[in-house]
Structure 1
Amino acid sequence: MNSQRYYSFLDRLCLGFDQAVRALTDTVKTTGADYPGKELPEPSLSDNERRHAAALMRINHAGEICAQALYHGQGVVSRSQEVQEKMHLAATEEGDHLAWCKQRLDELGSHPSYLNPVWYLGSFCIGMTAGMVGDKWSLGFVAETERQVIRHLEGHLNALPSKDQRSYVILQQMEADEARHRDEAVALGARDLPGPVRHIMALTSKIMVKTAFWI
């Protein structure tokens, strides 16, 4: 007897709504991985350094909100049970990143982006659109997203105040996890996205980055 449960499209939409609420209320599912840098002392930062570090972590937190939404949206419409499971697992692992960024923002005395519901809705729609085109293209979207996120994280690693090692090790671990997600998507058969799509993705990311830095 096959005990595996298959969800209808309506089931997946309801699950998607639950996932959205969790992502936006800091109750997202995680793997329970340890907080990177928890053994490191809190650095002595100037007010300007603290504000700058907090702005960078706010961007990363908003990026993780987008990642949750992308995976949730793609999982809702995926035709493949294997891809659905991959999206669910990746979203859970990305939940670690979301929790780490939120904790670091709290430590820095700052707040997440006030526009997180907007970032989530837009990214969820993009994820659903990518998923409806087909699973191979959906995986290609994941792979390209992770490539752009890795470049973005590399820039933040260089931009953080040198004394803020707690934020640094968080971003280092996130970068390693994103690289693994990229490689897993490629291994599952991700297709390379057309150049114009990659450029639109990069432009959209820049808008989010510049806005989340301040708001």
Structure 2
Amino acid sequence: MHKIDEKLANVTARIAHAAKIANRNAASVALLAVSKTQPAHRLREAYQAGVRRFGENYLQEALEKQNELNDLDGIEWHFIGPIQSNKTRAIAEHFSWAHSVDRLKIAQRLNDQRPTTLEPLNICLQVNIDNEPSKSGVTLAELTTLAEGVAQLPNIALRGLMTIPAPNAAANEHHPNSFARTAAALKQLKLALPCSPLDTLSMGMSADLEPAIASGATIVRIGTDIFGTRLT
């Protein structure tokens, strides 16, 4: 098995190449290491290789890792899994980012439960860009109304959008470009909400980071290509 530092170097090179082709600065694309199901010692290896942003899907697992890794400075924890009401307090208290907000009720709970000693919680609204019945996310038709409500919350920083396209959507030339449509949606939100930061597009994973970067991704969520096959 390749070491994490070797895998990380390969991913970083892919990001840099994709950014160059898109006439972008590679520094404009942040790497989020998706560490769900990985043991804490693997995250420690990634940290030692230079990773500082970690994305977790499962709350209890993430809290246990945070406790085990609390000796490491500068880790930025991102929650990227579905958010139910009973998870909001812990997310508000222990994470810097939440990528998967798709309801105003959840945003309001995160806002109300965010400790005043912390900076506002950075959130992305999850967009169900391909209208998949089995997938979470707000529709494009509902997006502006949700964003307008979230933007009013004082303990929330509405940073942008997150999406997971339908399988193979980005690579299928007959399918509208899901990443490009998400980027266009963010541009529309910027017009509607000029006072919000709205500088983030969280999209692209191990298999499709290149088309995501070509469409403007600012955070790519990479798991398999850093840690290898997911553990269960």
Which TM-score applies when normalising by structure 2? 0.25
Looking at secondary structure, tell me which structure has more helix per residue: 1
Relative contact order higher in (CA < 8 Å, ≥ 6 apart): 1
> Structure 1-normalised TM-score?
0.27
